[in-house]
Structure 1
Amino acid sequence: MKPQDLIAGKTSLWIFGYGSLVWKPDFKYRRSQVGYIEGYKRRFWHGDNFHRGSDDMPGRVVTLIEDHDATTWGVAFEVTGSQVEESLNYLNVREAVRGGYVSKLVDFISEDDQVHQALLYIATPDNPLFLGPASPEEIGYQIATSQGKTGHNLEYLLRLAEFMRRSCPHVDDPHLFSIEAAALALVPYLLGSN
Structure 2
Amino acid sequence: MTSEPFVVFGYGSLIFKPPPHTIAQVPGFLKGYVRRFAQKSHDHRGTPESPGRVVTLIHKEDWDKFSGADAFPDEDVVWGIAYTIDPAFEVEVRAHLDYREKDGYTLETLDIYGIVDGHEKVNIAGAFCYIGRTDNPSFIGSEPLDTLADRIWRSVGPSGRNKDYLYNLVEAVRTLAPESHDSHLYALETRLKMLDKGGDNKE
TM-score (normalised: structure 2): 0.83
Given the alignment of the two structures, is residue 107 of structure 1 paired with residue 115 of structure 2, yes or no? no
Residues 11, 84 of structure 1: 8 Å contact kept:
no
Paired with 1:192 and 1:53, the residues of 2 have a C-alpha distance of 16
| Match in the other structure for 2:46 | 53
Identity rate, percent: 33
Tell which deviates more after alignment, 69-78 or 178-187: 69-78
The count of aligned residue pairs is 184
| Match in the other structure for 2:86 | 80
Paired with 2:200 and 2:25, the residues of 1 have a C-alpha distance of 38
Of 20, 29, 35, 2:13 maps to: 20
SS at match of 1:61: strand
Paired with 1:74 and 1:193, the residues of 2 have a C-alpha distance of 32
Q: Cα deviations across residues 61-104 of structure 1 (Å, max 9, x unaligned)?
A: 00011026764110110113123222111101001x2x211111
Paired with 2:98 and 2:175, the residues of 1 have a C-alpha distance of 29
| Match in the other structure for 1:179 | 188
Query: How far apart are 1:37 and its partner, in Å?
Result: 1.5
| 2:104 alignment partner AA | G
| 1:32 alignment partner AA | Q
Paired with 1:62 and 1:186, the residues of 2 have a C-alpha distance of 20
TM-score (normalised: structure 1): 0.87
Paired with 1:188 and 1:20, the residues of 2 have a C-alpha distance of 25
| Match in the other structure for 1:3 | none
Q: Cα deviations across residues 126-166 of structure 1 (Å, max 9, x unaligned)?
A: 22211110122111100000010000000100011001211
Residues 106, 120 of structure 1: 8 Å contact kept:
yes
Question: Unmatched 5+ residue regions in structure 2?
Answer: 62-73
Paired with 1:192 and 1:61, the residues of 2 have a C-alpha distance of 20
